[in-house]
Each structure stands twice: as structure tokens, then as C-alpha cells.
Structure 1
């Protein structure tokens, strides 16, 4: 990877109800031209008005090909949420943050082509 190339990813949240789990599943999508050697979801932060909370996460993905996706988190979508990832590709490393609104109130979900599902997408690069 040339120094000028950046690590490009998306996280898409799709409604996937499951008994005993959050209603929204979050997927990491590799939008770059090279495989992601690794991606680690290390923090999940939520916010509702003045109330905020962060928790450590320990979710790892390896060898994610360009255009491929992997599930990384589940949530009920009632709070604003930020997912913080450390991503490595082509010998480079980037910390990427993906911020989502309160998902449960979103009505204009769009098709996430990489997943073939309706969802909410956020992009980041570094």
C-alpha cells in the first residue's frame, strides 16, 4: 500500500431481531483495495442526553478481503452509539470511529449493497 492510500471502512447497522440479543447487528465492511490484516473493536460508547457510558470491547476480525464484511457488535439501538476500532492493512494502522444516531427511531433506512439488507451506514478512513 502506498503511503498516500488510506484505510477505508464502513460499519453498517442492520435490524436483525434475535431472541435474547440486541435488535441491531453491526457489520464492518472493507472498502479498501487491500485486505484488512486485522480489525479490533476496542470500545463501545453510548449516549442518551447527558448520560454517557463507555465499555471496553474485545472483538477481533482478521483477513477481511476488499468488499467483504464481518459482524462485530449487537445493540438494541436505543442510544446514540460510537464504535472505536483499530484497523491494520498493508502495513499501516488507523484508529477509526463510527457514530450512529438512535437507530430505533430511524425510518429511512437504505439498502446496504454489500449486505443486501436495509440499514444505516457510517464511513471512516485513516
Structure 2
């Protein structure tokens, strides 16, 4: 059984945090996949490694130093080797973006573009 101190320690580390009613648990100790349309894009995370894929464009990737947390939101500033970093924001509440649905609202900003969509946790062992 986890004690209140253990939950506080996990939240401090960015592993979990309480979510408001109607939101999903903020468990950052897992990999995610976010998708959106118009234009189509996919973001995959593996630990603190982020890869943004878009049709017809090179992948944008990098490692974030950690998440800034303000429940129900977590955000990462991801250095990519470009002039400006990639910013990834997850809001842990249900999302509908066109035909895309998920338990997490996602936004990715890079190179002057902003992509909005939904994210879901990826099964363990699903690779990068």
C-alpha cells in the first residue's frame, strides 16, 4: 500500500499526480502516442524521447530534461537542434479532435506550427 508521502514523492518526480473529476490519471511513467489531422501528424514518446512525424517532412526529435507539471497539465520543452525547441503539452482530460479520440488532449508546437490532437498511453514494450 502506498502512503500519502509516497504519492507526494511520485508527484514530485513527475510520475503521477491527482487528476480533477472527469480527467484521467496523470501517470507520466509510460510511453504515449498522440495524433491529429489537418495536417496529419503523430508524436511518439519513449521516456523523455519525443519524435514528431508528419507526411512529407523529416521527423523532429529530441530529449526533454523533464516535465513541467500543473495538474491536469504536463508540458515538455524538447531541444531538437533547430532554432526553437519543440513544445509538447498534454492535458489529462478526454479529447475529441475530428475523427481522433483519446483520454488526453495534446498540443505540439514546433517551427512556428501548432498541432492539436489526442494522446493515449502506449502498451509497454511497443518500442519507439
Indicate whether the TM-score tops 0.5. no
TM-score normalised according to structure 1 size: 0.37
Higher relative contact order (CA 8 A, sep 6+): 1
Structure with the largest fraction of strand: 1
Tell me which protein shows more helix as a share of its residues: 2
